[in-house]
Amino acid sequence: MKLINANKKFILKNEEITILNNVSIEFKKGTMYLITGHSGSGKTTLINILGLIDKLDTGKLLIDNIDINNLNNKEIVNIRKEKIGFIFQDYCLNEYLTAKENIIVPMLVNKNIKSKDRNNIAINLLEQFNLSNRANHLPKKLSGGEKQRVSIARALVNNPKYLICDEPTGALDKKNERIVFEYLKKLAKSGICVIVVSHSNEIKKYADKTYILEDGIISEVKNEDN
């Protein structure tokens, strides 16, 4: 996944907020990236662009050498479906569906998963994130940490090549945070590109590369822990 001369700004009434100022950067498969930066620096906007939820003003985004600027909306949706898993900062669960049903939803649009297998895949993921006894709960009956883990499980169902995570452990205790980071690291080692926005100190031990987003510029931070 590559950004080339990427620019993004928001213009409010009297204020211009530069999120990306001519940024070129590559995110490779098999690597776990950490993106840091102060609140409001544009981390969510950046990964929304990488996750095909938002668009650049100018410049290019290439995903597996496909130039996203050349695609129509339907093609963009297909790339997102096939290649990208996204964990939202505010979970974005469907409040009318149970934990298990929320995990099943992305499988409904995946031709490679047989309908008879959906339930078992969801049950296995719930188990991996210690949620087996919450399978039939609606989100309003789940704690923040449980909702977060459901949203992580949901992002994994279609075996994404790129897993993009916005503060995936913000609501978790230390033990569950470690479970999630170890899992993300395992996914990166298995060949996935994992991009994580996080304020956690713990994740620095797991990230292969750390970047900071500041004033529209992304710079690498040398990691002392690895």
Ligand X SMILES: Nc1ncnc2c1ncn2[C@@H]1O[C@H](COP(=O)(O)OP(=O)(O)OP(=O)(O)O)[C@@H](O)[C@H]1O
Q: Using the rule CB under 6 A, which residue among 5, 10, 67, 127 binds ligand X? A: 10
Interaction residues for ligand X, span 164-223 (CB under 6 A): none
Q: Which stretch binds ligand X (CB under 6 A): 22-30, 35-43, 57-65, 115-123?
A: 35-43
Interaction residues for ligand X, span 55-114 (CB under 6 A): 89
Q: Which stretch binds ligand X (CB under 6 A): 32-40, 68-76, 134-142, 146-154?
A: 32-40
> In this structure, what are the phi and psi dihedrals at residue 17, rounded to the nearest 5 degrees?
-110, 115
Q: Using the rule CB under 5 A, which residue among 44, 102, 148, 158 binds Mg ion? A: 44
Half-sphere exposure of 3 (CA within 13 A, CB side): 24
Number of residues that bind Mg ion (CB under 5 A): 1
| CA distance between the termini of the chain | 23
Instruction: Tell me the closest approach of the beta carbon of residue 167 to ligand X, in angstroms.
Output: 7
From the list Mg ion, ligand X, none, pick the one residue 41 interacts with, judged by a Cβ distance below 5 to 8 Å according to partner type. Answer: ligand X
H or E element, residue 70 = none
Kindly state whether residue 151 participates in binding Mg ion, applying the rule CB under 5 A: no
Q: Using the rule CB under 6 A, which residue among 5, 26, 40, 144 binds ligand X? A: 40
Residue pair 143/155 in contact by the 8 Å Cβ criterion: no
Residue pair 197/167 in contact by the 8 Å Cβ criterion: yes
Torsion of CA 2, 6, 11, 17, to 10 degrees: 80
Q: Using the rule CB under 6 A, which residue among 1, 8, 44, 203 binds ligand X? A: 44
Instruction: Tell me the closest approach of the beta carbon of residue 213 to ligand X, in angstroms.
Output: 7
Instruction: Give how far Cα 42 sits from Cα of 53, 143, 168, Å.
Output: 14, 27, 16
Q: What whole-number distance in Å separates Cα of residue 56 and Cα of residue 224? A: 33
Using only the alpha carbons of the chain, give its radius of gyration. Answer: 17
Q: Which stretch binds Mg ion (CB under 5 A): 41-49, 70-78, 188-196, 209-217?
A: 41-49
Instruction: Tell me the closest approach of the beta carbon of residue 39 to ligand X, in angstroms.
Output: 3
Total residue length of the chain:
226
Q: Please give the residue ranges that form the binding site for ligand X (CB under 6 A).
A: 10, 12, 17, 19, 37, 39-45, 89
